[in-house]
């Protein structure tokens, strides 16, 4: 992928799209093959890669017994970024949860939990943004938030890898769209091996 590029991967359920995202995010280890993100090897430099990438997963990844603000405070500590109440509140306000700061995540709807996970992404500026079905559970305002996030990442030279069944909700249209079948990427009807996705540093 090139710097500032938005790449969308489409494909049927079980084709391997989400697995690929998790391998790039270092949440999973590839059983064979190799790859790199910004020159960092996926296996040897996993710690460095985790500092560069951010994944918006299909599940919100929030703690139900913590409030929205506490969830963000925990993330800020783990990221090593500014976790002052003002910064956290500003992230919550941006995703439309400014009034829900003291609400436990367990009491929020799935759409609100999804917004909370987007607020977590706003705490830092990753070089590679990985989005797994980012428009799920989101209303039009939520989808606009995701689109803004994609645009901001692209505008500052970051790369966006987007996995979706339906890319039509992506207003920031992908620069390229490839299709995945049984773990193999196809572009323009030609077989596109996984190596270029992570092998060439953006």
Partner 1 sequence: MNGASSGSAAWRRVRAVAWKDLTAERRTKANFNAVVAMAAMILLLFGFALGPDAEGLRNAAAGVLWLTILFSGVLAFNRSYQLELEAGALEQLLLYPGERWTIYIGKLLANLTFVFLMEAIALPLTGVLYHVAFPERWLAVLGVLVLGTVGFVSLGTLYAAMASRSRSREVLLPLLLFPMLVPVLIAASGATAALLVGDVMGDSSTWIRLLAVFDVIFLIGSTWAFPFVIEG
Contacting residues toward partner 1, per CB under 8 A = 22, 25-29, 47, 50-51, 53-55, 57-66, 70, 74-75, 77-80, 104-105, 113, 117, 120
Q: C-beta of 184: minimal distance to partner 1 in Å?
A: 24
Q: C-beta of 166: minimal distance to partner 1 in Å?
A: 22
For partner 1, give the closer residue by CB, 109 or 168: 109
Answer yes or no: are the C-beta atoms of 42 and 36 closer than 8 Å.
yes
For partner 1, give the closer residue by CB, 4 or 61: 61
Q: C-beta of 53: minimal distance to partner 1 in Å?
A: 8
For partner 1, give the closer residue by CB, 26 or 178: 26
Q: Which of 123, 168, 118 is nearest to 148 (CA)?
A: 118
CB neighbours (10 Å) of residue 65?
9
Q: C-beta of 17: minimal distance to partner 1 in Å?
A: 16
Pairing, β 128-132 against β 53-56: parallel
Q: Cα(178)–Cα(167) distance, rounded to whole angstroms?
A: 11
C-alpha distances in Å from residue 201, one per residue of 2, 32, 99? 7, 20, 41
Q: What is the DSSP code string of 168-179?
A: GG-SS--SEEEE
Q: C-beta of 27: minimal distance to partner 1 in Å?
A: 5
For partner 1, give the closer residue by CB, 15 or 113: 113
For partner 1, give the closer residue by CB, 27 or 167: 27
């Amino acid at each position: 992928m090139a710097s500032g590029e938005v790449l969308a991967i489409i494909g049927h359920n079980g084709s391997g799209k989400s697995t690929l995202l998790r391998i790039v995010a270092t949440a999973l280890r590839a059983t064979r093959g190799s790859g790199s993100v910004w020159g960092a090897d996926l296996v040897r430099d996993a710690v460095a890669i985790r500092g560069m990438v951010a994944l918006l997963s299909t599940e919100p990844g929030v703690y139900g017994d913590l409030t929205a603000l506490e969830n963000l405070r925990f993330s800020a500590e783990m990221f090593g970024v500014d976790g002052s109440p003002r910064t956290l509140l500003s992230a919550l306000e941006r995703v439309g949860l400014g009034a829900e700061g003291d609400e436990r995540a367990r009491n929020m709807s799935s759409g609100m939990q999804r917004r909370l996970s987007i607020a977590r992404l706003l705490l830092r500026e990753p070089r590679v943004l990985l989005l797994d079905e980012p428009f799920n559970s989101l209303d039009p305002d939520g989808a606009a938030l995701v689109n803004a996030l994609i645009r901001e990442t692209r505008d500052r030279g970051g790369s966006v890898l987007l996995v979706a069944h339906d890319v039509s909700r992506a207003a920031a249209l992908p620069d390229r769209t490839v299709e995945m079948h049984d773990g193999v990427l196809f572009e323009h009807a030609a077989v596109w091996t996984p190596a270029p996705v992570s092998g060439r540093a953006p």
